[in-house]
Structure formats: structure tokens, C-alpha cells
Amino acid sequence: MILELAGVAAGYGAKTVISEVSLALAPGQILALLGHNGAGKTTTLKTAMGLIPARAGEVRFDGTAITRLPVAERVARGLRLLPEGRGIFPDLSVAENIDVVAASLTGKGAMFDPASVYRLLPVLAERRATRAGSMSGGQQQMLAFALAILGTPRCLMLDEPSIGLAPNLVERLFAQVRDVCRAHGVAAVLVEQNVAAAMALADQVVIMNNGKVVFDGTPEAARAANVWHFF
């Protein structure tokens, strides 16, 4: 398993909002993490990334416990988060965004350096000099995706990457995610409101409700089971 959460609890202040969260993801696999607003999906990703501490349980990466490892260490090992609401620098150009992140992550032998990112996402190559914040939502989301894969990612966590995107762009973004995972063996956790599209892409579906995992299985099993009342 590349990423494993075992009995994880986390929260804010006095409030614990997720508990007993367990999931496991193999290299190259795509896991759709679903559930209504407030179910605890973002909190789960933040805990895996180390942005907030786990109050119970263990986070494992490639078989090693990383529960108390600093965020930068997790990034260096290949765990990446595309945060809810886009993690880009709006005042920098596209090229500056890419170079700032690439500087710390793309050494010799990296899976994705700036040149390969521009090849994969030509829309960014055309807009190298454009101020990132002035681009369309779809283009900004492509840039956020580019920043998430720079270097050598081993597990991408994408928090609602399709929000605000036109349907054709959602399709294109999901196709890029699939390509990165299938061609490079990168695993992905995909948090989505777009339930049907996410299920179509995923190998595994985990549904959360009220801070707990209420379903874990294949997309086929999710469709067959009566899980729709969780949305």
C-alpha cells in the first residue's frame, strides 16, 4: 500500500470531526473519497498531509508510519495535496508558479520537470507569461494540478479539483489524472462532488458520513449498494 490511514481521528479545537477513519490505497490506483458537505473529506486529506495532527490512529506511507512527520518530509517522499480552492500564487505568472515549486522538487531523474508538465498540459505552455490569477477557473485548476505533480509524486490527493469547471474541462482533467496514474504508477485520492464522474474513474470508492467511513468497496459494489442516501 502506498497510503494507509488506520483508525485516524482529527479535528479542530475541542471538536473531533473525524474518527476511526481507515482506508488503504495501492500504487497506481484511484480512490474516490465521497460524501456530503461537512462529512470530513477535507479534514481526512489534511490529516494525511500533516497539516493538522492525527489525534488517534496512524498514517502510513509506503509501509512506514508518517503520523508525526512534518509536511515538507511528506511532500519530499511524494505525498501531494491539491488543496480545496486551488493552491496557486495568483500574482505570479504561470512559469513563475511552476519554477517556484519545481526549484524545490525537481532534481535529477524527477518524474515531472517543468518541460514534461508543459508537454502534458499544453494550455499552460501557451500561457507561460500570463498572470495566474487572471486565467479562467479551468486554467487555474490545470496549473494547480501541474504544481501537485511536479517532482516525483507517488500519491496525489486532489480536493474537489473539478469545482467551477465546465464539463468538457472536467473530462480533460480527469483524463490527465488517469494518465498520470496509469502511465506512472502514481496513486490518487480524488475528493469529488461530481459523484458519477468520480466513480467512473475510480478503482475504489470510500464514502464518509458524519466523520466516519460508511462504505469502502469497488465502484460496482457502490452502485449496487444503497449508498445514494449519503449524498
Ligand X SMILES: Nc1ncnc2c1ncn2[C@@H]1O[C@H](COP(=O)(O)OP(=O)(O)O)[C@@H](O)[C@H]1O
Options 17, 56, 92, 125; binder of ligand X; rule CB under 6 A: 17
Q: Which region, judged by CB under 6 A, interacts with ligand X, from 35-43, 96-104, 129-137, 217-225?
A: 35-43
From the CB of 130, what's the least distance to ligand X, in Å? 30
Q: What is the DSSP letter of 82?
A: E
CA-wise closest residue to 191 among 37, 70, 54: 37
Options 5, 23, 30, 41; binder of ligand X; rule CB under 6 A: 41
Residue 127 interacts with ligand X (CB under 6 A): yes or no: no
At 65, list the grid cell. 508510519
Residues 204, 59: Cα–Cα separation, whole Å: 19
Q: Which region, judged by CB under 6 A, interacts with ligand X, from 39-47, 65-73, 100-108, 197-205?
A: 39-47
Q: Which residues contact 14 (CB under 8 A, 6 or more apart)?
A: none
CA-wise closest residue to 146 among 182, 111, 118, 178: 118
The answer to whether the CB of 159 falls within 8 A of the CB of 45 is yes
From the CB of 167, what's the least distance to Mg ion, in Å? 21
Q: Which residues contact 108 (CB under 8 A, 6 or more apart)?
A: none
Q: What is the DSSP letter of 93?
A: B
Residue (113 or 192) nearer to ligand X, CB: 192
Residue (98 or 190) nearer to ligand X, CB: 190
At 45, list the grid cell. 486529506
Options 19, 29, 43, 152; binder of ligand X; rule CB under 6 A: 43
Residues 12-41 that bind Mg ion (CB under 5 A): 41
Residue 37 interacts with ligand X (CB under 6 A): yes or no: yes
Residue (19 or 106) nearer to Mg ion, CB: 19
Q: What is the DSSP letter of 105?
A: H
CA-wise closest residue to 176 among 216, 132, 145, 220: 145
Residue (88 or 157) nearer to ligand X, CB: 157
Residue (42 or 162) nearer to Mg ion, CB: 42
Q: Which residues contact 63 (CB under 8 A, 6 or more apart)?
A: 1
Residue (12 or 228) nearer to ligand X, CB: 12
Options 19, 29, 42, 194; binder of Mg ion; rule CB under 5 A: 42
Residue 35 interacts with ligand X (CB under 6 A): yes or no: yes
- Positions in the binding site for ligand X (CB under 6 A): 12, 17, 35, 37-43
- Positions in the binding site for Mg ion (CB under 5 A): 41-42
